[in-house]
DNA sequence: GGCAAAGTTGCGGTGACTGTAAAGATGCGG
DNA sequence: CCGCATCTTTACAGTCACCGCAACTTTGCC
């Protein structure tokens, strides 16, 4: 997608990856709180101050992949809008994104483990997901021709979608990454699709 | 519920309220980042170090009411379990809790304004809500007789409930606190109840 | 009054993050 | 190939949240 050709761009990209790599290694080894930004900088062979030119906070190194994934999600949503129902469009887009989790399994599990063991990273993760929610709600509002500020429906759809995503990711992580993310995601979306009123009244949950 | 009689307890409670009051005043006046913990301590007439004996972080002063509300929610949920469907039980409990927002309107709006203007407070708020979600999921899992770790349904129900809560609160705040929180909450729950598949296909969202 | 438990305060330290300004690397026209 | 504009890195000094510790004060109780 976004390619670099100048020497400058290439160098920046290389440094960025060096920082990310060093950070994830250290966080995995000593825990998020067990490694300081200075440690990461030393391991990545840069000055401590430089770290903050690449990432706005220590937490954000772990979540650096979110931005690209949101971009991909938005692109998918803009392509296939509402020939079908909004909810089904959301379902398709989120299922598509979840394919990443499979193809980059090792990386994802690494990051998830840090997220769920370090509260401050978890908090930042939720905050970024809330941004996703706002973006998604805006797009849905566009489909429905209403403005996102005052309408309930776009917010609820976006909120439900992100909940489904969180639930399926939690499941995937709990199972050690053995299950298929797209399948889990689809199942979560379908449960919400059917309506929650009757869920759980008779046993409807087994695999 | 939890009453205090000894002098010690009364003093602690008074100090706690003094800190909370001073903090909210200062944060409202200068913004969350515009007032330091030292400022708050000075205004509340305590030593800076003492602040952290009452609140684990600067953010938590603004969200001090969450704990009590969760307690209330849990109590309500434990009373009226699953004679009806789980979702309807959740609906009832959340609607009941939302009455607080009306009766303490001024306080709530104050807090909400700080939450939505200070990112770090917003992040902490989301984190606490995630804790609610876990708790609620546990209770629902109890109703369904499954264990909460591996089952999807309890997580999804809890996630949907919290999403409904966030959506209705956002609406309430956007409207300047004029609408009725229980009504907004009920409407959000009902939209999810009906199922998301058909939502928005034909116009289903007015008044 | 006097002793134990609990609460307060001051001190010193750590670590994330920021503004600033100097030094270094890169791009580019001549 | 040089020199100038631009961008990047770095060092330095500062702010602020937060923590452990040890002295000091207050409260509970006999």
Query: Mind listing the pLDDT tens digit of every residue in chain A (207 residues)?
Result: 445 688 789 999 999 999 999 999 999 999 999 999 999 999 999 999 999 999 999 999 999 999 999 999 999 999 876 667 899 999 999 999 999 999 999 999 999 999 999 999 999 999 999 999 999 999 999 888 876 556 899 999 999 999 999 999 999 999 999 999 999 999 999 999 887 766 655 544 443
Buried b / exposed e along B63-101 (16+ C-beta atoms within 10 A): bbebeeebebbbebbeeeeeeebbbbbbbbbbbbbbebb
Residue B122 has pLDDT above 50, yes or no: yes
Best A199, A204, A206 residue to mutate vs chain B (most B CBs within 10 Å): A199
Q: Please answer yes or no on whether A198 and B85 come within 8 Å at the CB atom.
A: yes
Rg of the Cα atoms in chain B:
19
d(CA B133, CA B162): 7
Tell me if residue B103 falls in helix, strand or coil. Answer: helix
Chain B hits for A188, Cβ within 8 Å: 152, 156
pLDDT of residue A75: 96
pLDDT of residue A199: 63
Q: Measured between CB atoms, which of B162, B195, B201 is closest to A194?
A: B195
Residue range B97-104: mean pLDDT, rounded: 94
Supply A130's token pair.
């809330």
Residue B150 has pLDDT above 70, yes or no: no
Confidence band, pLDDT 50/70/90 cuts, at residue B52: very high
Between A55-69, A113-127, B49-63, B183-197, the lowest mean confidence (pLDDT) is in B183-197
Give, in Å, how far the C1' of C13 lies from the CA of A37: 17
pLDDT of residue B116: 96
Q: Measured between CB atoms, which of B127, B157, B205 is closest to A152?
A: B205
Give, in Å, how far the C1' of D15 lies from the CA of A179: 48
* Residue B37 Cβ under 7 A from any strand D atom: yes
| Residue located via tokens 């976004």 | A2
pLDDT of residue B201: 58
**pTM for this prediction:** 0.92
Supply B67's token pair.
């704990």
CA distance B57 to chain A (A): 12
Tell me if residue B32 falls in helix, strand or coil. Answer: coil
d(CA B162, CA A134): 16
- The larger pLDDT score, comparing residue B174 to residue A36, is at A36
* Residue B57 Cβ under 7 A from any strand D atom: yes
Confidence band, pLDDT 50/70/90 cuts, at residue B156: very high
Contact assessment for residue B160 and residue B139, using Cβ atoms and an 8 Å cutoff: no
pLDDT of residue A1: 42
Chain A hits for B194, Cβ within 8 Å: 195, 197
d(CA B45, CA B15): 9
pLDDT of residue A107: 94
Between A61-75, A193-207, B136-150, B165-179, the lowest mean confidence (pLDDT) is in A193-207
Q: Please answer yes or no on whether A152 and B187 come within 8 Å at the CB atom.
A: yes
Q: Please answer yes or no on whether A127 and B130 come within 8 Å at the CB atom.
A: no
Give, in Å, how far the C1' of C4 lies from the CA of B74: 38
d(CA A106, CA A94): 20
Contact assessment for residue B188 and residue B168, using Cβ atoms and an 8 Å cutoff: yes
* Average pLDDT over chain B, rounded to an integer: 90
d(CA B125, CA B138): 20
For CA atoms B67, B70, B72, B74, give the dihedral sign. negative
pLDDT of residue B207: 38
Q: Measured between CB atoms, which of B127, B152, B188 is closest to A187?
A: B152
CA distance A144 to chain B (A): 7
Contact assessment for residue B41 and residue B50, using Cβ atoms and an 8 Å cutoff: yes
pLDDT of residue B1: 45
Residue range B186-197: mean pLDDT, rounded: 87
d(CA B135, CA B60): 19
């Amino acid at each position: 997608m976004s390619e670099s050709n100048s020497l400058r761009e290439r160098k920046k990209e290389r440094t960025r990856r060096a920082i990310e790599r060093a950070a994830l290694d250290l966080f995995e080894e000593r825990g998020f709180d067990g490694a300081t930004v200075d440690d990461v900088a030393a391991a990545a062979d840069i000055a401590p101050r430089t770290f903050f030119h690449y990432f706005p906070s220590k937490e954000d190194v772990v979540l650096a992949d979110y931005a690209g994934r949101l971009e991909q999600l938005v692109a998918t949503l803009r392509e296939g809008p509402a020939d079908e129902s909004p909810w089904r469009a959301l379902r398709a887009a989120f299922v598509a994104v979840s394919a990443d989790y499979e193809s980059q399994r090792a990386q994802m599990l690494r990051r998830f483990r840090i997220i769920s063991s370090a509260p401050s990273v978890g908090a930042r993760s939720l905050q970024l997901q809330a941004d996703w929610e706002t973006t998604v709600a805006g797009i849905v509002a566009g489909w429905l021709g209403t403005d996102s500020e005052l309408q309930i429906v776009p917010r609820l759809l976006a909120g439900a979608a992100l909940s489904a995503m969180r639930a399926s990711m939690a499941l995937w992580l709990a199972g050690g990454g053995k299950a298929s993310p797209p399948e889990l995601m689809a199942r979560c979306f379908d449960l919400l699709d059917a309506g929650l009123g009757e869920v759980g009244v008779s046993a409807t949950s087994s695999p």
